[in-house]
Amino acid sequence: MSNSTSKNRRLALVGALAVAGAALAFISFGNIGENLVYYWDPGQLIAAGDKSIGATIRLGGVVKKDTIDWDPDRSELAFTVSDGVAEVNVHCTGAPPQMFREGIGVVVEGTMTKAGIFESSRLMVKHSNEYKAPEEGTSVEELYKTVEAL
């Protein structure tokens, strides 16, 4: 094997590792996270004020207790998303996913209206990193009746 090819390979290795290291450092230590967020929390949405009206936004937070209003006849759902401090009222149509309930994390996609209600076109339910067995005496079938229980 000629010396020049093995020298080229070493150069390629050093170059590749340098590029890889720089890219990783940029992403992990840079503040990309501040500019690129998957969702806003209610506090950020409210702080944006009128700027948020009309734009497509993802809003994430927890479904506040005693705020779920489900109208099965018109298939309309209203609830409040909270981050513990700020709150936003959300309205959407269609049956929510089975896991939807009070106190669970949700991410909703939609737009803020002038009336101050977040009109959601897509409701996503977040599962925590806890995987637990059902409480004693609950059957699996009951888990699927959440919509009826709302």
Six token digits for residue 31: 């503040």
- Which one of residues 77, 82, 110, 144 is an interface residue with other proteins (CB under 8 A)? 144
- Which one of residues 55, 85, 140, 149 is an interface residue with other proteins (CB under 8 A)? 140
Give me the least distance between CB of 74 and other proteins, in Å please: 19
Binders of other proteins among 45-104, rule CB under 8 A?
60, 96-100, 104
The stretch near other proteins (CB under 8 A) out of 31-39, 46-54, 83-91, 110-118 is: 31-39
Q: Which is nearer to other proteins, 114 or 127 (CB)?
A: 127
Residue 78 Ramachandran class (φ > 0 left, ψ -120 to 50 alpha, else beta): beta
- Using H for helix, E for strand and C for coil, what is the string for 55-102? CEEEEEEEECCCCCEEECCCCEEEEEEECCCCEEEEEEECCCCCCCCC
User: What is the C-alpha separation between 22 and 68, in angstroms, rounded?
Assistant: 47
71 beta partners: 76
User: What is the C-alpha separation between 58 and 81, in angstroms, rounded?
Assistant: 12
- Which one of residues 50, 66, 135, 148 is an interface residue with other proteins (CB under 8 A)? 135
Task: Write the burial class of residue 118 (CB in 10 Å: 0-12 exposed, 13-18 middle, 19+ buried).
Answer: buried
- Which one of residues 66, 114, 128, 137 is an interface residue with other proteins (CB under 8 A)? 128
Binding site for other proteins (CB under 8 A): 1, 5-6, 8-10, 12-13, 15-17, 19-20, 23-24, 27-28, 33, 36-39, 60, 96-100, 104, 107, 122-135, 138, 140, 143-144
